[in-house]
């Protein structure tokens, strides 16, 4: 009699990479950079090794970006500092998902700086 273990987690680093790169949907379509990783994290966090850690990091990063954007918009009136911070946020939101996708493909933990831990 064969025993099937349904609770065994798989190591699918390709899905982790796709989850990180799905954040770039914000740059190309304007939406989806928060929704797609959220759906992937909620559906696969129990079946893929590392998805829970990576998914929480991605969601915390996306929520932190939204907060920094909402803070930067009124700061435009303060000598244009908001414009500089929006440019910085745009660069960071494009570069860090790519860097962390590479880290995920190597099996390393994600590293997003300037992130507030909303989900722990």
Tell me if 112 sits within 8 A of 118, measured CB to CB.
Answer: no
pLDDT, greater one: 80 or 46: 46
99-113 pLDDT, tens digit per residue, is 999 999 999 999 998
* Spatial CB neighbours of 4, under 8 Å, sequence gap ≥ 6: none
pLDDT of residue 79: 77
**Residue 30 pLDDT level (bands cut at 50, 70, 90):** confident
The answer on pLDDT for 52 being more than 90 is yes
**Residue 7 pLDDT level (bands cut at 50, 70, 90):** low
The answer on pLDDT for 10 being more than 80 is no
| Least confident residue range of 7-11, 40-44, 53-57 | 7-11
Q: Hey, what are 20's tokens?
A: 């990180």
Distances in Å between the Cα of 63 and the Cα atoms of 5, 46, 77, 93 are: 36, 22, 23, 11
- Buried b / exposed e over 66-103, threshold 16 CB at 10 Å, is eebeeebeeeeeeeeebeebbeebeebbeebbeebbeb
Sign of CA dihedral 35, 64, 70, 21: negative
The residues spanned by each domain of the chain are 53-108
| pTM confidence score | 0.86
Average pLDDT over residues 15-25: 93
Please provide the average confidence, as pLDDT, over all residues in the chain: 89
Q: Rounded CA gap, 60 and 118, in Å?
A: 6
DSSP class of residue 112 equals -
């Amino acid at each position: 009699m064969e025993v099937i273990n349904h609770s065994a987690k798989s190591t699918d680093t390709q899905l982790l990479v796709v989850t990180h790169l799905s954040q770039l949907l914000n740059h190309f379509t304007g939406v989806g950079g928060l929704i797609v990783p959220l759906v992937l994290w909620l559906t696969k966090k129990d079946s893929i090794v590392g998805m829970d850690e990576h998914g929480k990091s991605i969601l915390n990063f996306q929520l932190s970006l939204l907060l920094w954007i909402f803070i930067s918009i009124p700061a435009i009136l303060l000598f244009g500092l908001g414009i500089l911070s929006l440019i910085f946020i745009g660069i960071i939101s494009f570069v860090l998902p790519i860097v962390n996708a590479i880290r995920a493909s190597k099996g390393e933990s994600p590293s997003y700086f300037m992130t507030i831990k909303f989900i722990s």
